[in-house]
Amino acid sequence: MDVSFTLFQHVCFRLYGIPRVRRSDDLIIDRHHLAYLNWIEKLNCVYCGYGNQLIEYVREIAARTEQYWCPIKHARRTLDPHRRTLQFFEYGDAQAYRQKLHTLRDEWQTTDKRIE
């Protein structure tokens, strides 16, 4: 998953001008340095940290892809929508979609504090 999403964004995001997600912003493995953890706990921290942070990284890549290609809210509310969904168009609002799609495709700064 890590490799495939990284390759996807390096190819597709460059083609469409979508800002890339910096892997180092999400994948931070550091809890194994804590002296009070034994080696099994450290190993578990590496595994859990990598797994959960990989999901954050992949979610942000998918969210930016969705913002570019299909920024439309779902008809039914999802349990845990990503933060970019807040500025997506309402389900069924064809007029807003057609009129504002190009603007939303350029609004990366307002939706992500991580973009330089």
Spans of all domains in the chain: 2-104
Write the pLDDT tens digit of every residue in 65-81. Answer: 999 999 999 999 889 99
Enter the pTM of the model. 0.86
* Residue in this structure with the two tokens 């992949």, named with its chain if needed: 58
Q: If 0-12 CB within 10 Å is exposed, 13-18 middle and 19+ buried, where does residue 88 land? A: buried
Q: Is residue 116 scored above 50 in pLDDT?
A: no
pLDDT of residue 69: 96
